[in-house]
Amino acid sequence: MPTLVRKTLGEYRRSVIGWLIGISAFLSLYLSIYPSIRSNPDFYQQAALSKYPGPLKDLMGGLADIASGTGYLQTVVYQLLVPLLLIMFAMTLGTRAIAVPEEEGTLELTMTLPIDRRRLVLERWAAFSLGLLAVALVTLILVLALAAVGDLKVPAGNIVAAHTGLFLIAFFFGTLALALGAATGKRALALAVGGGYAVGGYVIETLGKSVDAISWLRWVSPFHYYLDGRPVFQGWPVGDYLVILAATAVLAMTAVLAFERRDVGV
């Protein structure tokens, strides 16, 4: 493993562990209560529909099948809350690649190493990718275990497909934050722009299904390619995932080019 990747992973260690514990606690709490819902599905189904009327119901994914194991897993894990947590983690980690050390004045020291700017960005991006992948893999194992214990009756392959999408959508937004940080050197700006795009993209994808005026914008939302294939229900949406991967690769190369051309001041 390259020295800079190993060094960067060491810097990320506490953040990775902290976010992993938090996300795992959330998953454990919410998936552990499914047996109670399964025991009285009609009551919980009606309660969910009455609690989130109209547009709020659309934002939560419709809630039409929340009493089933598949619908519950989609709503609680893969629709909004866990993607939000993982995207927040990914963007935080992404800004720590370039923007945070530049603002803290430590990036100049890193740039004195015998590596060019392109390699610096790519190795920082690789460390970010590995940190995010570690959290995704551990939480996948946890979801598979809890789904089996709770008897959600969701095929393991579908859970793997959905969790892969979860990783990819977080990977996209984390790489976006890294690219914005590489282009501007500003952590707050990277988080604001990336977070705004994430929130806006999610709202457009969920409400765009029923609001014709914004339905065409769904194609520019990363969430369209994450949610539209419904992997928890239908398995692998390979084409959609390839779109997210391609967009992420473009962002990574944009980060390299932007950082190469910007005056950082070593």
pLDDT digits (tens, 9 = 90+) for 104-154: 888 777 767 767 888 899 999 999 999 999 999 999 999 999 999 988 999
In a domain, 63, yes or no: yes
Residue 57's pLDDT band (cuts 50, 70, 90): low
Report the pLDDT averaged over residues 89-102. 94
What is the predicted pLDDT for the residue at 181?
Answer: 94
Structure tokens at 38: 């399964």
Range of the domain at 247: 3-260
Q: What is the number of domains present in the chain?
A: 1
Comparing CA positions, the residue from 246, 224, 27, 2 lying closest to residue 121 is: 2
Give the pLDDT of residue 58.
66
3-state secondary structure of 262: coil
> If residue 238 lies in a helix (H) or strand (E), which one and from where to where?
helix 238-261
Calpha distance 133→43 (Å, rounded): 38
Q: For residue 69, which of 135, 149, 167, 137 has the smallest C-alpha distance? A: 149
Residue 129: per-residue pLDDT: 97
With respect to residue 266, please indicate whether it lies within any of the assigned structural domains.
no
pLDDT digits (tens, 9 = 90+) for 178-217: 999 999 999 999 999 999 999 999 999 988 877 788 888 9
In a domain, 265, yes or no: no
Average pLDDT of the chain to the nearest whole number? 88
Is the pTM for the entire model greater than 0.85? Answer: yes
Residue 34 lies in a domain: yes
Q: Residue 8: inside a domain, yes or no?
A: yes
114 in a structural domain: yes
Rounded-to-integer distance, Cα 108 and Cα 158, Å: 45
Assess if residue 101 is contained within a domain. Answer: yes
Instruction: Choose the weakest-confidence range: 1-15, 101-115, 219-233, 251-265.
Output: 101-115
Taking the C-alpha atoms of 200, 230, 95 and 261 in order, what is their torsion angle to the nearest 10 degrees? -80
Asked whether residue 86 is assigned to any structural domain, the reply reads yes
